[in-house]
Structure 1
């Protein structure tokens, strides 16, 4: 397989260790990964702000940059969802249709394409799993409480493969953190309150680390945790899955 790695802008700028962990994890699992240096953004920030027509050149650049790869893997459910669901407004060439099908969140690629059943990883900590909205309800990486399905999420399945991890039981396991991209800017008070509610749930469960498949949600929670002086850390799931045994 010819695999390309797409690193979202906020990971590139603020959390490069997540991109490195994703690359190392894929390589440990036998993948040869390409990193097109011309990549920029998927266009989600502009679209979420109501400027989707202005994002079209960014969409077209993404297609040009990643055409020719069998899969594009990204450590971001929200970016994967945006490419798959919002690139419907540009001309549906063969390349566009291919990328709309083959741009995958990391957890999807690991479970659905590589069929991973075991990971050589160890992370001895009590971990709280945050189910980001785009991954949970957009990509259907988990059942969501409103669907009344008794099935583990993709992230829970992967965490269960890591030696030493204790996955905390949360009271409201699939509730939004309040980030929502530009929602956190336009409605800061509501956004902060939602984030504090999520942190309180994790704190009640005694977690040491909060993890998720979207670093944007974790960035929001990390800011609130720092302001509270909380010892709880945040780590993208790629960092945990890549921790050597």
Structure 2
């Protein structure tokens, strides 16, 4: 009985603190959790193998496509005028069309998508490895994070997510322009979306507009490492 009372008391106290000072709790707990998470799971390499017969017939699409004039104009023109800028702390800035990206090294992978809401789905994705983009732009030594910006705006702010450089170089991190052997559908992020198969779905930016290499993400958005981290107090680490 005493143990239960102690647990309930701690729970009530912790809940009160988190409700009054959510950003403080996010930053303090996040710092500790992220250190432990990276120390425990850094060397683990996932090896899931799926075949085309495992592909989920209905793959849910969260969120809504961008409703800006800029994106609608690109969509109407079948993304012929779309260009993805790669900039920041790099030796060589890039500006790539969809045709340019399709002409680069291609990776195809069948993987399981895990959403933070609890659902999963298996799909086949085709695109260029992020590691290949990195080899083209050659990040400077001080570049520690890669930030992916979307055409989508949510809660009045541009959607973005930041990931560690080592995660960007992971062999399962790709910029996908195909889904299940066909051009990427608009609800799933056309013309290009990020796939990071070791992370929860909210880190996989859809409707990619540009990529920036930075030394720190503290001055981007609210400084938490992503739109969900800024507005919903998620942690920057979303490994699965």
TM bucket by the smaller chain? under 0.3
Question: Radius of gyration: which is bigger?
Answer: 2
TM-score when normalising by structure 1: 0.24
